[in-house]
Amino acid sequence: KQEVTQIPAALSVPEGENLVLNCSFTDSAIYNLQWFRQDPGKGLTSLLLIQSSQREQTSGRLNASLDKSSGRSTLYIAASQPGDSATYLCANYNFNKFYFGSGTKLNVKP
């Protein structure tokens, strides 16, 4: 069974810092990998999707990379802002099932 791990569980950084969130998975046979953001009491918002044939995707200050062979994905956030404070989850899709990590709770201090 696919296991998805996100470390650290929580992260607190000062505003303006560049940071990296990590996602690891045990089975490299994935169709895609997706990063989400979740604000308290809300649903998950899709941030970036990387297809299995791709290595990275970028959107604004966000960059996500995928290394299937090592079972890892990273989400890079440049010049963090207080508005980036949220929980970030990664998930991969394989055989019609989605496998989620437990998330990294990010706090960006003004």
Residues of this chain that interact with other proteins (CB under 8 A) are: 31-32, 34, 36, 41-46, 49, 51, 89, 91, 93, 96-98, 100-103
Q: What span, in angstroms and rounded, lies between the C-alpha atoms of 48 and 56?
A: 9
Q: What are phi and psi of 83, to 5 degrees?
A: -70, -10
First to last CA, the chain: 41
Rounded to a whole number of angstroms, the minimum distance from the CB of residue 79 to other proteins is 26
Rounded to a whole number of angstroms, the minimum distance from the CB of residue 58 to other proteins is 16
Q: In terms of CB distance, is 48 or 80 closer to other proteins?
A: 48
Rounded to a whole number of angstroms, the minimum distance from the CB of residue 36 to other proteins is 8
**What's the chain's Rg over C-alpha atoms?**
13
